[in-house]
Structure 1
Amino acid sequence: MSSESDIRQIVTRLLPAPEPMPDAGDLVADFVLEELGNEPPVPAAVLIALVRRGSGYNVLYTRRSGGLRKHSGQVAFPGGRIDPEDHDAAYAALREANEEVALYPEDAQVLGYMPYYYTGTNYFITPVVAIVEPRAPFVPNPGEVDAVFEVPLDMLVQEASYQTFRIVHRGQKRESWQIDFEGHRIWGITANLTRRFRDTVLAGDGHVA
């Protein structure tokens, strides 16, 4: 997954624009850990950054700060809520990446979008896929991020890189994908999104457009 033809194939498997939010009653949450209330879904965006390194690409991840109120210490893609002043999901994802790890938006070329992902915490996530050629090292914002790391794209396309993560929460068994890399454990929403990216975009097992 390092040639220009690979990137062209990736583009053909992405959506040219974010999917609109359907009626709330049509949304089905993945990896539910708590009962969803009657609040409307929260629009959010994450950046799946394909960081060019030499002749190949890595995918950028963060480990959230241990001081955060929600999901502290967990691995995530850069991203967050889409604010009213954000132009679109890509703008929000790149803004958040700049705030979290000092990724310059000008260093990113947006390739397209994956279908929305609705979480068990009531977030309506638009995954934004972009090539990034960083002009400087990524620097974690200590208020939000404890660490930043990259996983080779060639590893993420391999079936053997994925295991099953199991958790018992309030007496209920839940499962997600799991990826282990150099002491980092990726699970839950982030692992499920990575697997979906692998299946539909990298491996091309399903066409998303």
Structure 2
Amino acid sequence: MIKLIEIEKALARANQITPKETTLRPSAVLVPVVEREQGLQLLLTQRTDHLRHHAGQISFPGGRMDRTDKDLIHTALRETHEEVGIPDQLINVLGKLPLQPTISGFMIQPVVAHIQQHYEMRLCEDEVADAFEVPLDFVLNPDNQNHSYRDYRGKRYSVYSIPYQERNIWGATANIIVEFSKLIRTF
């Protein structure tokens, strides 16, 4: 069973650096880890069906960097509060995962954080249809991570998916989870 201390040590060793320039739009997501009696859980959201980008998909709380954000960690915290109502005071940032470029034109900075277990969600109904927790041990297990390739606009892309119960975690969210898994396994 994965422990918070292992995550903290692995993230400290990773020492991710944000590039100074990119043509992709800067954005950030929070990779929220919650400690429960049955083990660590990962908090995910399901986006509403009417959104312009990634409608209906399983995702982490997050979004595009605003002019008012001092950095991408602030973006992840602000977006988490806006989307699921969890305030900064209940969030302890542990570190960053490798940047995740998307075919939709975003450069995502995943920010791993420990969320206090007594949080209460207040979903932004315009953006988030649902929020739920999944066992971290399950999603980080390579046996549960399906890999395939898809062609899009004449290019071949590596795609991961992680089926969990009646849901399918795929795309950038699954890729971030796989990177998280690799980081933890190398620890």
TM-score, length basis structure 2: 0.88
* Deviation per residue, 1:125-180 (Å, 9 max, x gap): 11111111143332321100111111111112312111135555567664411101
| Amino acid aligned to 1:96 | E
Question: In structure 1, which of residues 30, 41, 66 is the aligned counterpart of residue 49 of structure 2?
Answer: 66
| Alpha-carbon separation, structure 2, partners of 1:203 and 1:55 | 21
| Alpha-carbon separation, structure 1, partners of 2:17 and 2:34 | 22
Contact preservation (8 Å) 1:104, 1:134: no
Contact preservation (8 Å) 1:2, 1:55: no
1:36 counterpart residue number: none
**1:184 matched to 2:167:** yes
2:89 counterpart residue number: 106
Question: In structure 2, which of residues 143, 146, 149 is the aligned counterpart of residue 163 of structure 1?
Answer: 146
2:186 counterpart residue number: 204
Structure 2 SS opposite 1:111: strand
Larger Rg: 1 or 2?
1
Which runs of 5 or more structure 2 residues have no equivalent in the other structure?
A: none
Aligned length: 187
Q: Given the superposition, is the C-alpha separation of residues 170 and 81 from structure 1 closer, same or farther in structure 2, using an over 3 Å criterion?
A: closer
| Amino acid aligned to 2:177 | T
Larger % of strand: which?
A: 2
Question: In structure 2, which of residues 174, 178, 183 is the aligned counterpart of residue 195 of structure 1?
Answer: 178
1:13 counterpart residue number: 13
| Alpha-carbon separation, structure 2, partners of 1:137 and 1:89 | 24
Structure 1 SS opposite 2:109: strand
Which runs of 5 or more structure 1 residues have no equivalent in the other structure?
A: 25-39
| Alpha-carbon separation, structure 1, partners of 2:2 and 2:181 | 15
* Deviation per residue, 1:74-117 (Å, 9 max, x gap): 11111001111112111110110111111121111111112222
TM-score, length basis structure 1: 0.80
| Amino acid aligned to 2:185 | A
Shifted more, 112-121 versus 89-98: the winner is 112-121
